[in-house]
């Protein structure tokens, strides 16, 4: 961790036999000669929570002890947060919410086309991993999490060439970050980029049979490339199901092409079929 006004690490122990990560973080803090102490959970209510520079470290972010610290607006981190900051030689997050790891440090994430209950959970996990939640899409947003393509936020993210990822990206980062240092922007997570036809039902009309076959072949190739695509193709118009209709007029083909722009980082995807 960076030198300066270093925190006092207070490791809250409920059951040391089940706190291997907490013990690992404690040992690492001793190696770096950081000021630290162990406090039995049963004594937590007797601790001065307003003591300057106090940072409370918990193995699990659940239960009455965690809720007690949250209610009192204490600075709370997880053991992996300590280990990662020591490994990367960076300071501990100094934010108004608990941070379990720094897997998403440096990211500002907004969500779109995700049910409210799931969106709230995604925002919670993003903050637990040191990321910033952006409910509105502004120029400060670094990543967009999308349940499917086509929303206003999605189109804005495309125009600014922002990475657009699936909710599975957040869940996978949370799964992995609990016992090792990871960075959510690493290449290994690019498999969670949102497929360009995610949630789309595509129909064509006014196109000859050979072109239909070509479009179907390209479309199905894109649909099956990602296990997360969940898109459909119909050779005939399905009025109740179709979300994108393609036919050979200049204006419509241009709009359709624009809808296919930008799923990959720093790349643009354009499908020229006319």
Q: Is residue 157 part of a domain?
A: yes
Indicate which CATH number applies to the domain containing 36: 3.40.50.10190
Which of 172, 192, 212 is at the close of a domain? 192
Tokens of 129: 């991993």
Q: Is residue 235 part of a domain?
A: yes
Q: Whole-model pTM above 0.85? A: no
Convert the pLDDT of each residue in 197-206 to its tens digit.
787 766 666 6
Residue 99 DSSP code: B
Extended strands (E) in the chain: 8-13, 36-40, 54-57, 76-77, 108-112, 132-133, 143-146, 164-165, 201-204, 232-234, 244-246
Per-residue pLDDT at 238? 53
Number of domains in the chain: 3
Q: Using the predicted structure, report yes or no on whether residue 254 has a pLDDT greater than 50.
A: no
* Structural domain span for residue 83: 8-88
Per-residue pLDDT at 55? 97
Per-residue pLDDT at 33? 94
Q: Are residues 129 and 186 in the same domain?
A: yes
Q: Is residue 215 part of a domain?
A: yes
Q: Is residue 223 part of a domain?
A: yes
Q: Is residue 100 part of a domain?
A: no
Convert the pLDDT of each residue in 1-25 to its tens digit.
554 568 999 999 999 888 999 999 9
Q: Is residue 95 part of a domain?
A: no
Sign, Cα dihedral of 158, 162, 167, 168: positive
Strand duo 232-234 + 76-77: pairing: unpaired
Which of 171, 192, 213 is at the close of a domain? 192
Convert the pLDDT of each residue in 62-71 to its tens digit.
999 999 999 9
Q: Are residues 112 and 186 in the same domain?
A: yes
Q: Is residue 133 part of a domain?
A: yes
Instruction: Using alpha carbons, select from 127, 142, 214 the residue that is nearest to residue 173.
Output: 127
Higher pLDDT, 259 or 177: 177
Q: From edge to edge, which strands make up the β-sheet containing 8-13? A: 36-40, 8-13, 54-57, 76-77
Which of 42, 58, 88 is at the close of a domain? 88
Higher pLDDT, 83 or 198: 83
């Amino acid at each position: 961790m960076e030198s300066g006004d270093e925190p006092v690490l207070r490791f809250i122990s409920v059951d040391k036999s089940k706190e291997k990560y907490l013990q690992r973080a404690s040992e690492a803090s001793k190696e770096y000669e950081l000021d630290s102490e162990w406090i039995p959970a049963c004594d937590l209510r007797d601790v001065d929570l307003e003591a300057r520079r106090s940072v409370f470290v918990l193995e699990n972010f659940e239960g009455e002890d965690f809720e007690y610290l949250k209610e009192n607006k204490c600075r709370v981190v997880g053991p992996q947060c300590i280990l990662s900051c020591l490994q990367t030689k960076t300071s501990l997050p100094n934010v108004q919410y608990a941070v379990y790891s720094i897997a998403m440090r440096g990211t500002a994430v907004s969500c779109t086309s995700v049910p409210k209950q799931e969106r709230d959970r995604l925002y919670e996990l993003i903050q637990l991993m040191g990321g910033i939640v952006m409910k509105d899409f502004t120029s400060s947003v670094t990543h967009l999490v999308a349940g499917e393509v086509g929303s206003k936020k999605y189109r804005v993210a495309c125009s600014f060439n922002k990475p657009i990822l699936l909710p599975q990206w957040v869940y996978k980062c949370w799964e992995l970050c609990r016992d090792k240092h990871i960075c959510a922007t690493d290449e290994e997570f690019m498999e969670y980029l949102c497929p360009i036809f995610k949630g789309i039902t595509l129909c064509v009309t006014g196109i000859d049979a050979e072109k239909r076959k070509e479009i179907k072949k390209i479309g199905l190739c894109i649909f099956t490339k990602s296990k997360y695509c969940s898109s459909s193709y119909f050779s005939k118009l399905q009025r109740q199901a179709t979300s994108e209709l393609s036919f050979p007029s200049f204006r419509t083909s241009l709009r359709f092409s624009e809808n296919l722009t930008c799923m990959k980082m720093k790349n643009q995807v354009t499908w020229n079929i006319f």
